[in-house]
Structure formats: C-alpha cells, structure tokens
Amino acid sequence: MPLQPARLEFASDGTPFSADYGDVYHSAHGGPAQALHVFLAGNDLPGRWQGRDRFVILETGFGLGLNFLATWQAWRTDPRRCRRLHFVSCEKHPFAAADLAAAQRAWPEFAELAAQLQAHWPPLTQGIHRIHLDGRRVVLTLVFGDAAVALRGLDLAADGFFLDGFAPARNPELWSPDLCRALARLAAPGATLATWSVAGAVRAALEAAEFDLERRPGFAGKREMLAGRFRSRRPQRHAAPVDRRAMVIGAGIAGCTAAHALAAAGWQVSVLDAAGEPAAGASGNLAGVLRPLPSADDNRLSRLTRAGFLATRALLGELPGVLWSACGVLHLGREPVQEAQQRRTVETLGWPPDLVRFVSREEASRLAGLAVGTGGWHFPGGGWVQPASLARAALAAFPERVDFRPNVAVDRLERSNSNWLAQAADGQVIAEAPVAVIAAGTAATRLAPLAWLPQRAARGQVSHLPAAATPALDLVVCKLGYVAPAVDGCRLAGATLQIGDDDPAVRIADHAENLARLELMLPGFASGIDPAALSGRTGFRPMSPDRLPIVGAVPVAGPPATGTRLAALPRLPGLWCVQGFGARGIVWSALMADLLLSRIEGEPLPLENDLVEALDPGRFLPGMARRRPGKSGDAG
C-alpha cells in the first residue's frame, strides 16, 4: 500500500500542525527546548551514552526530525560521546523532502545537520531506510510504515526510547498495550524511556510491559512528563564484539564492500584473494546495471532490490573514484501483456516518480533515441557502475584499517582456539582473526565450512561493441538482456546465462546470442556488426537456488532435527558469509555489507526480520532435513 505523506500545515501561532490528527508536532513554547528537556534529559542523556561503545535510541514518531537533530547535535558536542550512535525512528506519514526542509528552517541552530539530513532523505516508500552520517558514526534508521506493525519486524536492543506520537486520544494505536509490549521486546537491559504524555492508559500499558515509571516536571506549560526504566534483567542478546579483527576471503565486490563496512566501524581487516587485483572474477565486467525490480505485491525480491538500490546509491555518493553514471535505466516490457503489468505495478505501488515511473512506447522511444516496440519502467536514478572501480574504492577508503593481500590462495579454513586460520595448500597459516567472512564467489564451496552450500556457478558472457559502430545511447536499456552507454569506448551488451557450463572461453555463438537480444530491445541498433569480430568477457556468477543473496552466520553442516527453527540452528562461532549475488552484485553489495556488519556487531539491522531470514545461509538446511534418506516411506 502506498505511503500517505504528511501535509505541512501550521497552527495559528506558527507551530507545525497535523490536521489529520488534530495535534501539533511539538510544543508551541519551543521545539528544540522540548526535545532536550523531555527526550534527552528524560533518558538521562548525554550521561548514559558517555564512555560506551554504542548507544541505540528507538523513537515512535519521527515527524519533522526535531528529536533526531537535537540528539545528533548533543552527541556531536559531547567529548565523551559513545563511539557509534544509532537512532531508529518509525513514521507512518513521512514528509516529502521539500516540506521537511521548509519546516526545519525554523531551527537555525540545527541548520548544518538539517542540510545533511535533507541531502540523504530517502524516497517515500514503505520499509526500512538506512542513512549513514558523520563518517558512519551516526546511523539513522527510518522505518516508514505503521509502527504497530513495523516494530514486529525489527531486530535491535534499544538503550533509550523516545515516545513521541500524537496525543493518545487522537492516535491511540501508537500508545496501545500491544505496542508497549513490542517496545519491551526490543529493550536492552536497563533501557530507559521518556514521553511528554502522562495519560493513565499510557502509564498502565507501559507498567504492564515491565517499565518502572516516575513523573518528572514537564516542559513549559505542561506540569508533568513520564520517565521510565525497563525492569527485566534478561541477558544482553546483542553484545558488541571486543576484538575487532576480521579477515575477508575474496576481493570481489561482495568482499570489498564487506571490508569497507567493517573498516568504517573501526575493524582491522585483512582481505585475501588468489588474484593479483580486486574484482578479477565475476566482478570484473566493464559495467553492471543498477536499478530495483518492482512487483505489484512488493514481494521480497522487490523490497530487497529497492533497499539494495538505495544503499548502493548512497555508498557511491560516499566513495571517490568510482566510475559510474546515474544516466537512468529503461526496462522495456517483453510484450504488451508484460507492459500492461508494468503499468499496473507502478500504479499499485505508488512509488515516487523519481524512483520509478511508467513510460509509454512513444516516450520510451524518445528516451532511447530509437523506436522501440513497448513501453515499460523508467528508473531516473538508475544507471551503470563499473564494479572493479567500486571494489578498489571500497578497499582504499580506510587504508590504515584494510590490508589487501593479493595472490594469496586460501586452501583451508579452520578454527583454532578463538581464531579462524586461513591456510595455504602447504599448510602455512596465511592469516588469522576471530572473525572470518567468506566472500569467495563460486570458490566458496571449496572451503570445508561451506562445502554443503547449494550454490552453483552460472557462466555469463558479455559482448563489447565498439561505440562508434552503434547509434548514440544515453541510458541503460533492458529487455531480456541489457545494453549500456559507452564506457571506455565500448558499449556493453549481454549477458548469456548457462548453468553447469565451465568453459571460460569467449564464444562467437554467445556474441551472436547477445546481438539477437539486442535486436529485440533496439531493432537495428547493432545491424551490420559481425559477432566474430567482437571482444568480450566471460565470468562465473555465484547463484543461489532462490536467486537471493546468502548472508549471515555460517551454520554447522548437516541436516537439523525436524522442526528446528532457523534462529535455533547451531552456528560456527565467528564465521560469516556474503555469497550468492548472482547477476545483481551491484544492487546487493552495499546493503549486504551493512547487514553483515550489523549482525556481527549486534546493532540494529537494516532490513526487516523476514528479509533477514530469507537471506540466511541456514535456510537451505531444513530442506536437506526433508530430503534426507529414510525420513519417510522406508520399510526398513
């Protein structure tokens, strides 16, 4: 269901006001002062985050971002601040970027921070949006959607709660007993809360959810406010690691972005690869396509590619030296039936037009500069990225923390005491660390801990067309295959897909297949080009059975007992994998690196729980249990 953005309105005294809820966004006596008095002081901040490794705040009701800006500024000016600050906030009706900027001009004391927030403001789509600020030391996780539903999908341990919805009488769902129980599930030991509301129903719901409450002096004309502390003494489920050393096996786009995320969070990382340079394998193509893949029901693939697309766009904005272009992507319908489905999908999703829009055959022809047979999706912010340049830039971002070691082939990976040992074929220890990340692409299953993984190598060949031999093309066009604007004098077209084919040679027959697909996309575009005269590249993509990435803690091999839940699978301590990117390495890389880091660190996750489970490497083991011999029908 499309998001309904908030409308920027003002009460007679100039205070931002919601006509839908009949309530103001903050006190008429001063929003910044209210944020400091009620929410920061109510949670005993900044004192409680001082000297800590990290601090996590969960807010109900982002509104105009006032509490976040006040918290970020307080953190910035505190010399004893925590190393990393996580601010997670739910908002059912987020503001459009222009309205947010207009409202935030009322707080000149936050002008610099507000400008950064506005520059990173995400498109208004359902789900989780992750924004990295202040050198990735401040992480804002925006959850767009109904908090009563969205909280059930979060995985985090909040140290402080900002309860800042509209008045309970006008927005009761945000103060209900069910929501308070959801907050308790997400509370860290000793978590605190603060709210301006002292309504009896609110107090009763919070007390029933194991929060001890006290009344404190309220702000301005309000006599009282509430502060509270979580009384449960359950153990910490999201403890941060103490020894931040890791090794990453594989320097493709998966391994390099994973190393970048770890290094940005303060880890010392060794990156090992058998090749002489980064991205020498499947990530070595001249360019790859960056765009989401919508569906009318916004299924898992749709949600993941949208989140991945936005995460990659954000990372590209951080890293200098990456060769890429936001030239736009035109995804044409295969035939009129699919074209109609694409139109309905855009209408159903209601995504902002700067993310995706449907274009007719006539407009698609204008965008492509050539006559096409169907309309389809236009992604204005999509484009192409050279994966090798992204891999190199990711490794170079933190040279003091990333040690890239080329020409190092890992033959075995074994656990010894509290470390993982990467060994060469002769038994020599190449590297060791308490955390190991397997990002070795198709070679991952040669290592014993992942030998069971049902990942397959998919051969793909791309063709390099001389740019001068084709008409001009200013954007990426997709339809069964793809063709990109010129990169280094070549136009990339492809790609073939063969499972179980291990031939590394570039084949004329595959060039002919790529040209045939190109003719279906853009009739006449490559006419006269001889496939025998083309150059190209063959790569082997790591494909999972369900075409989704494989990211998470590596489980112990072997079929689990029937009925074992995914979360209960035994795991190999300190061993993780980032695998199965297939043909979508550009789209997946930044998001999967963020997910990996968040899981290793025990920080708030950038995806909902159902998506995290859909990516977990352990998802393949229950299927093995169902298929094991003798399970049923065995007469003995």
Tens of pLDDT, residues 387-397: 999 999 999 99
CA 77/CA 112 separation, integer angstroms: 14
User: pLDDT (tens digit, 9 = 90+) per residue, 146-186?
Assistant: 998 999 999 999 999 999 877 787 888 889 999 999 999 99
Residues paired with 214 in a beta bridge: 227
The predicted pLDDT at position 627 comes to 45
Q: Over 70: is that where the pLDDT of 29 sits?
A: no
The interaxial angle of helices 387-396 and 253-264, nearest 10 deg, is: 30
Average pLDDT over every residue of 522-534: 94
Which residues are CB-contacts of 352 (< 8 A; sequence separation ≥ 6)? 123, 124, 125
Confidence at 631, pLDDT banded by 50, 70, 90? very low
The predicted pLDDT at position 282 comes to 87
Query: Phi-psi bin for 453: left (phi > 0), alpha (psi -120 to 50), beta?
Result: beta
CA 453/CA 441 separation, integer angstroms: 12
Q: Over 70: is that where the pLDDT of 634 sits?
A: no
User: pLDDT (tens digit, 9 = 90+) per residue, 339-359?
Assistant: 999 999 999 999 999 999 999
**Listed residue (419, 346, 402, 342) closest to 375, CA to CA:** 342
Confidence at 632, pLDDT banded by 50, 70, 90? very low
The predicted pLDDT at position 164 comes to 85
- Residue 504: CB atoms within 10 A of its CB come to 10
CA 439/CA 223 separation, integer angstroms: 57
**Listed residue (370, 390, 375) closest to 475, CA to CA:** 370
Cα angle vertex 13, ends 10, 14, to 5°?
Answer: 40
Strands 383-385, 288-290: parallel, antiparallel or unpaired by DSSP? antiparallel
Confidence at 629, pLDDT banded by 50, 70, 90? very low
Beta strands in 305-370 (DSSP E): 324-325, 329-332, 357-359
3-state secondary structure (DSSP) of residue 452? coil
Nearest 5°: phi and psi at 279?
60, 40
**What tokens does 229 get?**
């502390």
**What tokens does 252 get?**
């493709």
Cα angle vertex 44, ends 42, 47, to 5°?
Answer: 155
Average pLDDT over every residue of 189-213: 95
**Listed residue (84, 109, 129, 8) closest to 605, CA to CA:** 129
The predicted pLDDT at position 239 comes to 83
Query: Phi-psi bin for 4: left (phi > 0), alpha (psi -120 to 50), beta?
Result: beta
The predicted pLDDT at position 633 comes to 33
Q: Tokens 């766009």 appear where?
A: 313
Which residues are CB-contacts of 304 (< 8 A; sequence separation ≥ 6)? 548, 588, 591, 607, 611, 614, 615
Confidence at 623, pLDDT banded by 50, 70, 90? low
Alpha-carbon Rg for the chain, nearest whole angstrom, is 26
User: pLDDT (tens digit, 9 = 90+) per residue, 220-270?
Assistant: 878 899 999 999 877 887 888 999 999 999 999 999 999 999 999 999 999
pTM, 2 dp: 0.94
CA 321/CA 395 separation, integer angstroms: 11
User: pLDDT (tens digit, 9 = 90+) per residue, 54-74?
Assistant: 999 999 999 999 999 999 999
Specify the DSSP element, H or E, that contains 260: helix 253-264
How many residues are recorded in the chain? 636
Note whether 226 and 217 are within 8 A (CB). no
Q: How many percent of the chain have pLDDT more than 70?
A: 96
**H helix runs in 473-551, sequence order:** 508-521
Cβ burial 520-536 (10 Å sphere, 16+ → b, else e): ebbeebbeebebeebeb
Mean pLDDT of the chain: 93
User: pLDDT (tens digit, 9 = 90+) per residue, 416-426?
Assistant: 999 999 999 99
CA 444/CA 578 separation, integer angstroms: 10
The predicted pLDDT at position 23 comes to 67
Is residue 19 packed enough to be buried (19+ CB in 10 Å), middle (13-18) or exposed (0-12)? exposed
CA 26/CA 35 separation, integer angstroms: 9
Cα angle vertex 507, ends 502, 511, to 5°?
Answer: 125
CA 540/CA 300 separation, integer angstroms: 25
Q: Over 80: is that where the pLDDT of 284 sits?
A: yes
DSSP tag of 487: B
**H helix runs in 412-543, sequence order:** 508-521
Tell me the three-class secondary structure of 25-56, residue by residue: CCCCCCHHHHHHHHHHHHHCCCHHHCCCCEEE
Note whether 448 and 442 are within 8 A (CB). no
- Residue 14: CB atoms within 10 A of its CB come to 9
- Residue 425: CB atoms within 10 A of its CB come to 9
